Structure 1
C-alpha cells in the first residue's frame, strides 16, 4: 500500500490544497487547538505563508499524495532566535479517510531524512493531544520521546481538559 504514497516538497501551487485540507481537518474538531471558526486564512495569505516556508532553509512543507490525490501535508517550522535555530517543531494534517494507510509514517520519514541532512536542525519537537493515542503511538514508533506535559493545557468545554504531550527527537 505504501507504494501508492508519494511524498514531495511543497510548491507555491499547493497552497490551495493545503488550505482545503486544513479546513476539512479543523472541521473534525478532534485533535487540533485551532477551531474552524477561528481559522480565517485566505488563499492569498496561505500562498504567502507557503512562500515564506519555501524561502527559509530551516523550514519545510511536505505534501502527501495517495493514488495521485493530495491527501495530507506536514510543516516543519524553526524559530528565528539564534539560541533556538537548531530546533523546530512540526504539525501534520491528513484527511480522515486516508488515515491508517501509512501516510503519516511516510511524511515523518521524509522529515527525518531532510532534518538529518540539514546542517542547522538538531532537534525536532511536537505537541500532541494526550487523547490522540494513534498519533502518540506513531511518534514513539518513529523514535520520538515524551519530554513533558502541559497539564490541562487544552480546554475542550466547561468540564473537559486534556494534556498537551510534548515530544522530541534528536537528529
Structure 2
C-alpha cells in the first residue's frame, strides 16, 4: 500500500469482558481492511491471545480500531470497541521501533463499559532505516558532553557514573 506504514500489533489479553467464551479481536486501520486473532475458546471473561498481527497503517489514518467479538450460534457479536488515536504510538517523541504497551477501555454500541483490552504496538521500520538511524545517532553522540565519574570510597576502587542534566537557566 502506497504511503502506508506497517504496525506490529500484539493482542495480549482482555479483562472483564461480558463474553463467556469464543472471543477474538479484529483490528482495523481503515474501513476496508482488517485482520483478526484466533478465537480463545476457554479464556472466559479474561481471554488471552498473545498473537502478533501486521496492520497496514495508511498515512491519513488517525485511529486504530480494536474490536472484541465473540462467536455465537447466530453469528459474531461485538463485545466492545476501543478507538485508539494513532498519536498514542507514533510521532517524533518515540525512537524508531519503540514498543508501546497499552491498555484501553472497551465500550459497547451504547457506550457502556465492557472490559479492557491489553496490547502492544510497534511501528515496523525497515532494516536499512534502523542502520541509518544508528549511524546518525553515533555521529551525534560524538558532539555530546562526556560522562563524569567520581570515586565512591577510597578503598572500594568503584566509580559512580553521573548522568548529565542540562539546564536552560
TM-score tier after normalising by the smaller chain length = under 0.3
Greater relative contact order (Cα 8 A, min sep 6): structure 1 or 2?
2
As a proportion of its length, which structure holds more helix?
Answer: 1
As a proportion of its length, which structure holds more strand?
Answer: 2
Greater Rg over alpha carbons, structure? 2
TM-score normalised by length of structure 2: 0.25
